[in-house]
Amino acid sequence: MVAELDIMPISHWLPNIDNPLLIAGPCSLETEEQALATAHELAKDKRVFVYRGGIWKPRTRPGSFEGVGSIGLEWMKRIKEETGLPVGTEVANAQHVEECLKAGVDVMWIGARSTASPFTVQEIADVLKGTDQTVMVKNPVNPDVQLWIGALERLNQAGIKNLVAIHRGFTPFRESKYRNYPSWKTVIELKRLLPNLPIIGDPSHIAGKREYLLEISQKAFDMGLDGLMLESHIDPSCALSDKAQQVTPADLGKILDALVIKYASSDDPLFENKLEELRGRIDQIDHEMMEILASRMELVNQIGEYKKQNKVTALQINRWAQMMDDRSNLAAKLHLDETFVKILFQLIHEDSVRQQTELIEKK
């Protein structure tokens, strides 16, 4: 059970927004010159609403560039003064938060590693208590939607209402062309449980390579997300961290030009009428599918009774293999996704075996 959170819309803390939220800037602030040059170029594109820059960089192993530290906050102040853009950075502990509050940082976000630690999130929430800060929470490294929600709840209980979730992908459990696996079903579940929560995508961390940024950004909008966080560096070839996933401000503009923004609804009454008609047909088909599934389960129970009478096991491996081959072949003929059909019938078969096993063991 998830408690309803008191969350304000993005327009509450960013009143000048008239498009999906776009946050852009370098993975890391490296020098004052690099930070300012990138900021001034990004500020020319009115689709960019917030400048981001990593100051403290949590690295997997020591020896990598771990950020410039607190001096970066002085650069952030200057960026804010010269460009008028709100500024944001990642915080990983209570001290980071305290320094950001003193420096007037507009947006803070909690990284994936920190989200996975309730103690860390609580320490951050305790420092933020009583402020009107905007806080974004990246998903934990594993697709645990309850852990993600837990971090948001801790912040909300501390009085933070300007909350945004960031989908940055999850540690891949198999070989993937992406750096982090984009589990869209986890995002859908988060939207279902917290419908008033703004969610943006982080294509840079999902992709790991700039050539995938456009396709992931488009997918984010297709899934109804509220914006993007994209990494942009004045010269990515010289970046001290994650150079392969960063783009120049000019190339960022090209990506934005190519995107087709999707909206949750349309003002066109013809569209709404047609949509309702198609949804009504889907509802009717779903009801018919449920009735057919109920009929199938009745046959499953009849087979279970027959197996019980003849002392036969519920699971019949040969029958299962033969059935899956048949369903896969039919899926191909009907132009259905074979993986989807296999997963569907795996679930149906598992429940069929469960029902038959319970029936056979019942005295």
Most confident stretch, 239-243, 307-311, 349-353 = 239-243
Tell me how far the alpha carbon of residue 44 is from its chain's centroid.
Answer: 28
Would residue 3 count as lying in a domain?
A: no
Residues 155 and 86 in one domain: yes
Q: Is the Cβ–Cβ distance between 58 and 113 less than 8 Å?
A: yes
Would residue 233 count as lying in a domain?
A: yes
pLDDT value at residue 225: 95
Cβ partners under 8 Å of residue 286, min gap 6: none
Residues 113 and 61 in one domain: yes
The more confidently predicted of residues 264 and 11 is: 11
What total number of domains does the chain contain? 2
Residues 204 and 131 in one domain: yes
Least confidently predicted of 75-79, 99-103, 178-182, 318-322: 318-322
CATH number for the domain that contains residue 150: 3.20.20.70
Q: Is the Cβ–Cβ distance between 197 and 167 less than 8 Å?
A: no
Residues 315 and 199 in one domain: no
The residue range of the domain holding 126 is 10-258
Would residue 350 count as lying in a domain?
A: yes
Most confident stretch, 188-192, 307-311, 314-318 = 188-192
Residues 218 and 336 in one domain: no
Q: Is the pLDDT of residue 87 over 70?
A: yes
Would residue 248 count as lying in a domain?
A: yes
The tokens of 208 are what?
Answer: 């790991």
Residues 213 and 242 in one domain: yes
Would residue 263 count as lying in a domain?
A: no
Q: Which of 258, 280, 307 is the endpoint of a domain?
A: 258
Residues 201 and 311 in one domain: no
Would residue 2 count as lying in a domain?
A: no
The tokens of 234 are what?
Answer: 């004045």
Q: Is the pLDDT of residue 61 over 80?
A: no
pLDDT value at residue 241: 92
Residues 346 and 244 in one domain: no
CATH number for the domain that contains residue 312: 1.20.59.10
Mean pLDDT of 326-351: 91
Q: Which residues pair with residue 90 across a beta bridge?
A: 109
Residues 157 and 292 in one domain: no
Q: Which of 258, 289, 324 is the endpoint of a domain?
A: 258
Residues 239 and 176 in one domain: yes
322, with CB counted inside 10 A (0-12, 13-18, 19+), is exposed
Mean pLDDT of 168-196: 91
Residues 250 and 321 in one domain: no
Would residue 264 count as lying in a domain?
A: no
pLDDT value at residue 363: 66
Q: Is the Cβ–Cβ distance between 152 and 194 less than 8 Å?
A: yes
pLDDT value at residue 2: 65
Most confident stretch, 72-81, 169-178, 340-349 = 72-81
Would residue 128 count as lying in a domain?
A: yes
Residues 58 and 167 in one domain: yes
Q: Is the pLDDT of residue 3 over 90?
A: no
Q: Which of 225, 258, 291 is the endpoint of a domain?
A: 258
